[in-house]
Amino acid sequence: MTEREIMAFKDESGEKVDFEVVAKLKVESKDYMILAPLDGNEEDAFAFRVDIENGKPVYNFVEDEKEFEKVQNQYKAYTEKE
């Protein structure tokens, strides 16, 4: 059994929300993570681009439709291999 990777973020109201890392992907030389809230299900997952700023990872929600579509296609290919 693999250990789940959990990450915590703050929502708009400052409340801590825990997410499980569902997948780590590379699309066009950029790193992405698919995160699902622990209190939801995998269908509620979100895509985040992982940018490095000042040597530290910064997680940016993917809002651009074309970028999201590329990540979504890569995630579908990833899940089909699993």
Q: How confident is the model at residue 80 (pLDDT cuts 50, 70, 90)?
A: confident
pLDDT score at 35 = 95
Mean pLDDT of the chain: 91
Share of the chain above pLDDT 70, in %: 94
The residue behind tokens 């990777």 is: 5
Instruction: Please state, in angstroms and rounded to a whole number, the distance separating the CA atoms of residues 16 and 30.
Output: 27
pLDDT tens, residue by residue, 33-71: 999 998 876 678 899 999 999 999 999 999 999 999 999
* Structure tokens belonging to residue 44: 């509620």
